Amino acid sequence: MSKIDPGWNFDNSYARLPDAFYTKMDMNAVEKPSAVILNHPLATMLGLQAELLESQEMVQVFAGNEIPEGGLPLAQAYVGHQFGHPNMLGDGRAMLLGEQITPSGERVDIQLKGSGRTPYSRGGDGRAALKPMLREYIISEAMYALGIPTTRSLAVVTTGETILREERLQGAILTRVASSHLRVGTFQYAAALESKEDLQALADYAINRHYPNIQTDENPYLSLLREVIKRQADLIAQWQLVGFIHGVMNTDNMTISGETIDYGPCAFMDTFHLETVFSSIDVNGRYAYGNQPKIGGWNLARFAESLIPLLHEDSNKAVEIAQKELYEYNKRYQQNWLTGMRAKLGLVKEEKSDEKLIEELLRIMQNSEADFTDTFRSLTIGTIHKSKLGTVEEYLEWESKWKARLAQEENESACFVRMRKHNPSIIPRNHLVEEALEAADQGDISVMKQLIDLLSNPYAYSEEQLVQCKPQESGEVPYQTYCGT
């Protein structure tokens, strides 16, 4: 047990679920842990004394060598459709230390990722490499700054050990903070147990933790399905609006809370194209940018299937109920996306012709190989004609239509203010992320810290951001990202 207490206020409600949902764990000690980066602002939000994070005692906690006061380490069980194929999974390289109750009364999971073998490791070493853990730190913090629901990163430490992937790499552990780690795959696992009591226990737990307002509804499990559908429709629309590509939208990577989770081969799109894929393992483009909304619906269908025993005593009636609710996903997603795209173009009023105007711009962008973020940033600050797209005749015709549409708004100058709030001036560009990771891997964390500082207020439109915001020239080899497992 750790001797220093920076303000841990742990509970372990997940451990009060039936034993089938987890395995209590002994810690997997590492040889020589060392702090790489610590998230002081997040620590303060959690009610922790940020200055104590630097202590060797806390490094031992982040490395999995010590248990914080009140912690109860466990690995969660779940299944997942990986690229459409079901597999028994679980935390194969992660360990839940406990749930921190923050000063505001919020309950959040504190999890170590890369903490070693568990009963769910399926022959793997349970470890993680430094660069993938730092990638998650960068991207999750960037998503938080963009206002997109996400898990966050409290710390990354090296383990002093070498792990073997395609090559020998530095071992590392990331401390992840999440509203919970309840996944669609957790419910699929519960349904596979064929115990209605266990399934109901999990559903009641999820409702109590994330949607307590529906506890008194006539059918709270139907309400749970509705709420999760809403959260995911909102979340994926937000991904699409900033060009974020998750990379592995398996059912074990979709949360019940509606947070983005498991930043593996993720990246932000540069050149706009619906078929953009970065993940080295997504050879068929299942999780391409343009497919993300559809896959979100597919995953939600798997969630609905798991709830069938709780939706109605008659399974046929339960299926009808579920199908009706799933139909709402597409409508809500489309409305969220359309509202967001209107905002990116400065439009407040809702005109029937808006969707056609938006789709026409995206088609021109794709045909012209325009950069997604830079196009909307340039439209926002009036520099679009300095770009390649700004010289394309088809774009110029579209621009005249857009300006005519803007003229229908009550306050045209307010439209551009609106655009600044919805079009980031900077995103974690792939080349910037890679530069930061390479430097950190060589022991220089300053490049990563500077990047995170730039990303912390993506709508600032500062001079430094405008210098760093440009995409890198495309190379001959397409950019790829990797899971790190």
Catalytic residue numbers?
252
pLDDT at 107: 98
Sequence-ordered list of residues with C-beta below 8 angstroms from that of 155, at least 6 positions apart, any chain: 35, 37, 38, 39, 53, 62, 174, 175
Tokens of 159: 């383990």
When pLDDT is cut at 50, 70 and 90, the band that residue 81 belongs to is confident
> Is there a single domain that holds both residue 135 and residue 274?
no
> Is there a single domain that holds both residue 63 and residue 105?
yes
When pLDDT is cut at 50, 70 and 90, the band that residue 242 belongs to is very high
Among 181, 206, 229, give the residue marking a domain's end: 181
> Is there a single domain that holds both residue 145 and residue 233?
no
- The model's pLDDT over 359-411, given as tens digits with 9 standing for 90+, comes to 999 999 999 999 999 999 999 999 999 999 999 999 999 999 999 999 999 89
> Is there a single domain that holds both residue 123 and residue 247?
no
Q: Examine the pLDDT at 148 and tell me if it is beyond 90.
A: yes
In the chain, the amino acid numbered 104 is S
Q: Examine the pLDDT at 154 and tell me if it is beyond 60.
A: yes
Average pLDDT over every residue of 175-185: 98
When pLDDT is cut at 50, 70 and 90, the band that residue 156 belongs to is very high
Encode burial over 2-11: b for 16+ CB neighbours within 10 A, e otherwise: bebbbbbbbe
Look at residue 2 and tell me if it is in a domain: no
Bridge partners (DSSP) of residue 155 are 38, 175
Q: Examine the pLDDT at 463 and tell me if it is beyond 70.
A: yes
pLDDT at 480: 67
Look at residue 231 and tell me if it is in a domain: yes
> Is there a single domain that holds both residue 243 and residue 321?
yes
> Is there a single domain that holds both residue 245 and residue 387?
yes
- How far from each other are the two terminal CA atoms of the chain, in whole angstroms? 29
Look at residue 214 and tell me if it is in a domain: yes
Report which of residues 99 and 285 the model is more confident about.
99
Look at residue 463 and tell me if it is in a domain: no
When pLDDT is cut at 50, 70 and 90, the band that residue 477 belongs to is low
For the chain, give the percent of residues with pLDDT over 70.
Answer: 97
| Lookup result for tokens 């999820």 | 206
When pLDDT is cut at 50, 70 and 90, the band that residue 482 belongs to is low
Number of structural domains the chain divides into: 2
> Is there a single domain that holds both residue 368 and residue 414?
yes
- The model's pTM is 0.95
- The model's pLDDT over 268-306, given as tens digits with 9 standing for 90+, comes to 999 999 999 988 788 888 999 999 999 999 999 999 999
Distance from C-alpha of 337 to C-alpha of 332, rounded to nearest angstrom: 9
Distance from C-alpha of 9 to C-alpha of 46, rounded to nearest angstrom: 9
Whole-Å CA distances, 275 to 271, 278, 284, 285, 389? 11, 10, 10, 7, 20
> Is there a single domain that holds both residue 164 and residue 226?
no
Half-sphere exposure of 455 toward its Cβ, with a 13 Å CA cutoff?
23
DSSP-assigned states of every residue in 189-242: HHHHTT-HHHHHHHHHHHHHHH-GGGTTSSSHHHHHHHHHHHHHHHHHHHHHHH
Range of the structural domain that residue 410 is part of? 182-425+469-485
